[in-house]
Amino acid sequence: MSRNEAVKWRGVFVVRLWAALVFVLPLMACAQRGEVEVADAWARDSVGRTASAAVFMTITSPRADRLLGASAAIAKETDLMTMEASDGAMGMAYLAAIDLPADAPVSLNASGLHVWLADLKRPLRTGETFPLVLTFEKAGEQRVEVSVIAPAAKPPMSGVGT
Ligand SMILES: [Cu+2]
């Protein structure tokens, strides 16, 4: 390799190094920001009814956080709820927040925690999706798309609950 060639190759290396830094650094910044991961957000077809509907999902936060509330344009009111036994019967109870331990998936499913849509503005129909905004204490607001599944369909949950 001549001296000129050596200089040229060093130049190519430096350019590649810069390109690598330019592309990799923003990715690292994203990872450090620590977005909350929301998987399998779903609700059931409301079969023409508009009284209320429950939304389920699996939430994983990279750090300890709390889900403080939710809102959806499709409902007049949106609450956080859980299933609870009282006087020997299962009922629903309102929650001020849902705790999210660091790196531990929290399952909102039919046997417990859920986001409750009260007074739907229109029925939920199989196959459609609608936006839901979740508000976290630390992570702020995050928008998720909720998939509406058929009345008897198996929920798209990764294992836990139904
Ligand atoms: Cu409820």
Domain ranges of the chain: 1-32, 37-149
Distance 82 CA to ligand 1 centre (A): 6
Whether the pLDDT of residue 122 is over 90: the answer is yes
Q: Report the share of the chain in percent with pLDDT over 90.
A: 70
Distance 114 CA to ligand 1 centre (A): 6
**pLDDT on residue 161:** 43
The pTM of the full predicted model, rounded to 2 decimals, is 0.76
4-25 pLDDT per residue, tens: 666 666 666 666 666 666 665 5
d(CA 38, CA 161) in angstroms, rounded, equals 16
84-101 pLDDT per residue, tens: 988 889 899 999 999 999
Distance 59 CA to ligand 1 centre (A): 18
37-149 under CATH 2.60.40.1890, yes or no: yes
Helix H or strand E encompassing 77: strand 75-86
- For 13-44, give one letter per residue: b (16+ CB within 10 A) or e: eeeeeeeeeeeeeeeeeeeeeeebebebbbbb
